[in-house]
A and B are shown apart, each in its own frame.
Chain A
Amino acid sequence: MSETERISGYAHPDVLVTTQWLAENSSKVRIVECDEDVLLYEVGHIPGSVKLDWHTELNDQDKRDYLDGEQFAELMKAKGIDRSDTIVLYGDRSNWWATYAFWVFKLFGHEDVRILNGGRAKWIAEGRELTRDVPDASSVSYPVVQRDDKTIRAFRDEVLAHLGKPLVDVRSKPEYTGERLHMPDYPNEGASRGGHIPTAASIPWSSAILEDETFKDVAALKAIYFDATGFTAADDFVAYCRIGERSSHTWFVLKYLLGVKNVRNYDGSWTEWGNLVGVPIATGEEPGVLVR
Chain B
Amino acid sequence: MNSNAEAVIDDFTFLEERDRLQLLLEFSEQLPALDSRFGDNPELLERVEECQSPVFIAVEGSPERVLLHFSAPQEAPTTRGFASVLNAALNGQSAQEILDLPDDFPSMLGLDRLISPLRVRGMRGMLARIKRKTAEIAAAGN
A-B contact pairs, 25 of them (CB 8 A): A37-B75, A37-B76, A37-B77, A38-B21, A38-B114, A38-B116, A39-B25, A39-B77, A39-B78, A42-B22, A42-B25, A42-B77, A43-B74, A55-B115, A56-B113, A61-B113, A121-B75, A124-B75, A172-B50, A185-B125, A187-B121, A187-B124, A187-B128, A190-B117, A246-B50
Tell me the nearest residue of chain A to B124, going by C-beta.
A187
Please pick, from A172, A184, A189, the residue contacting B118 in the complex, using a CB distance under 8 A: A189
Tell me the nearest residue of chain A to B80, going by C-beta.
A39
* Best-buried of A39, A43, A184 by chain B (most CB within 10 Å): A39
Alpha-carbon separation in the docked complex, A69 to B109 (Å): 33
Residues of chain B within 8 A of A217, CB atoms compared = none
Flag whether B81 is at the interface (Cβ < 8 A). yes
Alpha-carbon separation in the docked complex, A242 to B117 (Å): 13
Contact A242 B47, beta carbon cutoff 8 Å: no
Residues of chain A within 8 A of B124, CB atoms compared = 187
Alpha-carbon separation in the docked complex, A183 to B129 (Å): 12
Tell me the nearest residue of chain A to B73, going by C-beta.
A37
Report which A residues bind B (CB closer than 8 A): 36-40, 42-43, 55-56, 61, 92, 121, 124, 171-172, 175, 182-187, 189-190, 242, 246
Alpha-carbon separation in the docked complex, A216 to B115 (Å): 32
Tell me the nearest residue of chain A to B128, going by C-beta.
A185
Contact B121 A38, beta carbon cutoff 8 Å: no
Alpha-carbon separation in the docked complex, A175 to B52 (Å): 14
Map CB proximity to A onto B47-85 as digits: 1 under 8 Å, 0 otherwise: 101111100000000000000000000111111010000
Please pick, from A40, A61, A185, A246, the residue contacting B77 in the complex, using a CB distance under 8 A: A40
Contact B125 A187, beta carbon cutoff 8 Å: yes
Count contacts on B: residues with CB < 8 A to the other chain: 32
Residues of chain A within 8 A of B49, CB atoms compared = 172, 182-183, 186
Nearest Cβ in chain A — how far from B25, in angstroms?
Answer: 5
Residues of chain B within 8 A of A39, CB atoms compared = 21, 24-25, 28, 77-78, 81
Please pick, from B24, B25, B121, the residue contacting A186 in the complex, using a CB distance under 8 A: B121
Tell me the nearest residue of chain A to B76, going by C-beta.
A37
Contact A43 B114, beta carbon cutoff 8 Å: no
Contact A183 B77, beta carbon cutoff 8 Å: no
Alpha-carbon separation in the docked complex, A190 to B121 (Å): 11
Alpha-carbon separation in the docked complex, A171 to B50 (Å): 9
Going nearest first, the 7 A-B pairs with the smallest beta carbon separation are: A39-B77, A183-B49, A186-B125, A55-B116, A37-B78, A185-B129, A39-B78
